[in-house]
Homo-oligomer: A and B are copies of this chain.
Amino acid sequence: MDFRLTEDQRALRDGMRQLLRARFDREALRDTVDGAAVGSGAAAVDGAAVGGDAAGTALDSGLWRELGQAGLFALRAPQSAGGVGLGLPEAVLLFEEAGRALLPGPLVASHLAGSAGLVAGAEDGTAVVTAVEGTGPYGGPTPPVEHLAAADAVLVLDEGHTVRVLSPGELAARPMRSLDPLTPLHRVHGRRESDSPGARAAGGSGREQAVGAGVLLREAVLLTAALQLGSACRTLEMAVGYARQREQFGRPVGAFQAVQHLCAGMLVRSETARSVVYAAAVTVDEEEISAAKLLADTAAVGNARDCLQVHGGVGFTWEADVHLHLKRAWLRAEQWRTAVTSEERLASALLCPI
């Protein structure tokens, strides 16, 4: 038993961090926000329903292809199928970096499609793939679909069914005014009957293999937890950096116990989440994946809020990045297994014989 990352894993993670630093640094992030904000800013105030999509996609297709070339989407496809042949633990490390950088786009769905060979072009980033989840936690509406307008294909993941792949046009969907300026969202109402060419079975792009949605759903939950973990780590770094530098009452605010304790609490949240996210990547255990998502959601949301509190008024401005992390964290908490579902599953597991 050795929990630590291997040298290869470290190198992989560092490589991703470098790639993102080079291709999606803070300036690129803010440029993307400014591009997307033209529409959603107005949308937030006036009455017109203008989604981020309508104001120009937030997706940079060049960057998407670079991510594809770097192996982010084909990471777990076997080398024989042109993939990288790595496993979930490695995918989790890369997604943590993506979460840290606030990388926009339907990363989870594209990775699932690329690694399972479900959509041609997903593996190298020439196709963008998004997904629709099954029913919500109360048997209610499904969570919204992200980046629908930019997507070339949509995975339909419903527990207990095989995966279906639709073209975006097949969905009857209405744009929402997305909370997250970097993630355009659509509310899905159902299938569009008129011009529907019929759902293609899973294993499009020629291959006929049927894939159960259950496996992919679990992976989606875990990878989303990894994104949340990365965000929680980043907001902690931001809080610590600010607390070191911002002075009030003649010293850095980080010298005040109240601020120190907020920051320490953030570290406790992120490191606790990390331990179970990494473990779940190895065990791929249903119960542990629920724990990973639950604690990573809590860490991402809690750390973003505390980061905002440490930043004070500055954190409340659009120009600070804190709100982008908080909004994405809120969004991801509603996607791919909510707290209600995770807690119920974790409760039921307690009654199973060991």
How many residues on chain A are close to B (CB under 8 Å)? 4
Which residues of B have CB within 8 Å of A258?
Answer: 257-258, 261
Interface residue SS majority, chain A? helix
In the complex, chain A residues 247-277 whose Cβ is within 8 Å of any chain B Cβ:
256-258, 261
Q: With the chains together, A257 CA to B254 CA distance in Å?
A: 13
A259 to chain B, nearest CB (A): 9
Q: With the chains together, A258 CA to B256 CA distance in Å?
A: 9
Nearest residue, chain B, Cβ from A258: B257
A196 to chain B, nearest CB (A): 42
Q: With the chains together, A256 CA to B256 CA distance in Å?
A: 9
Q: With the chains together, A258 CA to B261 CA distance in Å?
A: 8
A309 to chain B, nearest CB (A): 13
In the complex, chain A residues 212-262 whose Cβ is within 8 Å of any chain B Cβ:
256-258, 261
Q: With the chains together, A159 CA to B353 CA distance in Å?
A: 41
A248 to chain B, nearest CB (A): 13
A339 to chain B, nearest CB (A): 19
Which residues of B have CB within 8 Å of A257?
Answer: 256-258
Which of A256, A257, A261 has the most chain B CB within a 10 Å cutoff?
A257
Q: With the chains together, A14 CA to B261 CA distance in Å?
A: 40
Which residues of B have CB within 8 Å of A256?
Answer: 257
Q: With the chains together, A31 CA to B256 CA distance in Å?
A: 43
Q: With the chains together, A261 CA to B257 CA distance in Å?
A: 10
A255 to chain B, nearest CB (A): 10
Q: With the chains together, A261 CA to B261 CA distance in Å?
A: 11
Q: With the chains together, A256 CA to B257 CA distance in Å?
A: 7
Q: With the chains together, A257 CA to B251 CA distance in Å?
A: 15
Contact with B along A122-165 (1 / 0, CB 8 A): 00000000000000000000000000000000000000000000
Nearest residue, chain B, Cβ from A256: B257
Q: With the chains together, A258 CA to B259 CA distance in Å?
A: 10
Nearest residue, chain B, Cβ from A261: B258
Q: With the chains together, A258 CA to B258 CA distance in Å?
A: 6
Nearest residue, chain B, Cβ from A259: B257
A311 to chain B, nearest CB (A): 18
A99 to chain B, nearest CB (A): 31
Q: With the chains together, A61 CA to B328 CA distance in Å?
A: 65
Nearest residue, chain B, Cβ from A257: B257
Q: With the chains together, A208 CA to B256 CA distance in Å?
A: 67
Q: With the chains together, A257 CA to B261 CA distance in Å?
A: 10
A184 to chain B, nearest CB (A): 35
A186 to chain B, nearest CB (A): 33
A89 to chain B, nearest CB (A): 38
A82 to chain B, nearest CB (A): 56
A258 to chain B, nearest CB (A): 5
Which residues of B have CB within 8 Å of A261?
Answer: 258
A2 to chain B, nearest CB (A): 37
A345 to chain B, nearest CB (A): 23
5 closest A-B pairs by beta carbon, nearest first, are: A257-B257, A257-B258, A256-B257, A258-B261, A258-B258
User: 5 pairs across A/B with beta carbons < 8 Å?
Assistant: A256-B257, A257-B257, A257-B258, A258-B258, A258-B261
